[in-house]
């Protein structure tokens, strides 16, 4: 099932920033009457979105570390993804379009595996299992372009035992939203956009990269407030 906000369909610059986008998603989730769920953010951009949602809804927040595999010459274009459990998924069609050879593929995978491992260690050090069999989770990112990273995350969480997975993204390409609806139990996407081109950043008035230091600060603040 897909949940969207029809008034935002095919519009750009509908969110002030990632925090505002999280607040919009939180209001959408309130209407679904969820209870006992955990919010899992995909770093980096998904963390500020998910933190705003967790704050508004009072749900616990954690990270599901998944990162896209990119060519060395362009860190914005992905042709694969690596998940927290070590699985690697590649899109052969995208790889061919980028002209990535076997050596570059292996180097890209190695870079991404190291990045995922580093983020798991820094963001989840000393914590227990990400999910417990039977859990309901809300999986959050700041947008859904090709959907490969999110699909890899859903697959990894299924295998880890999650019983119900709700994908929640502020913005998404219409075709990718439909594909994810076939993998997750539900998809919440406030701003669905169709057409030949799609960029996550176009949904935001203010857009910038989220660094590892910022990730640590956000997660640290949330865990401190949750323990009070």
Looking at CATH, the fold of the domain delimited by 2-65+132-226 is given as Rossmann fold (3.40.50)
| Sheet arrangement for strand 88-90 | 66-69, 80-83, 88-90
Please answer whether residues 127 and 48 qualify as being in contact, where contact means their C-beta atoms are separated by less than 8 angstroms. Answer: no
Mean pLDDT of the chain: 92
Q: pLDDT tens across 174-218, in order?
A: 999 999 999 999 999 999 999 888 999 999 999 998 988 888 889
User: What is the per-residue pLDDT for 205?
Assistant: 97
């Amino acid at each position: 099932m897909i949940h969207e906000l029809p008034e935002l369909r095919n519009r750009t610059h509908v969110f002030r920033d990632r925090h505002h986008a999280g607040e919009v998603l939180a209001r959408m989730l309130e209407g679904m009457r969820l209870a006992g769920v955990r919010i899992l953010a995909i770093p980096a951009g998904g963390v500020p979105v998910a933190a705003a949602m967790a704050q508004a809804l009072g749900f616990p927040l954690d990270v599901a570390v998944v990162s896209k595999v990119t060519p060395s010459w362009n860190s914005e274009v992905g042709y694969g993804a690596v998940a927290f459990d070590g699985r690697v998924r590649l899109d052969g069609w995208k790889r061919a379009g980028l002209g990535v050879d076997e050596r570059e593929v292996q180097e890209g995978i190695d870079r991404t595996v190291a990045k995922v491992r580093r983020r798991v260690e820094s963001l989840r050090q000393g914590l227990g299992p990400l999910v417990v069999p039977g859990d309901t989770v809300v999986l959050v990112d700041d947008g859904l372009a090709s959907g490969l990273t999110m699909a890899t995350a859903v697959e990894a969480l299924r295998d880890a035992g999650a019983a119900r997975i709700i994908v929640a993204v502020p913005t998404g390409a219409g075709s990718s939203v439909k594909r994810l609806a076939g993998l997750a139990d539900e998809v919440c996407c406030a701003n669905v956009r169709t057409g030949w081109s799609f960029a996550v950043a176009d949904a935001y008035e203010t857009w910038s990269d989220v660094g590892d230091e910022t990730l640590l600060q956000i997660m640290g603040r949330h865990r401190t407030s949750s323990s009070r």
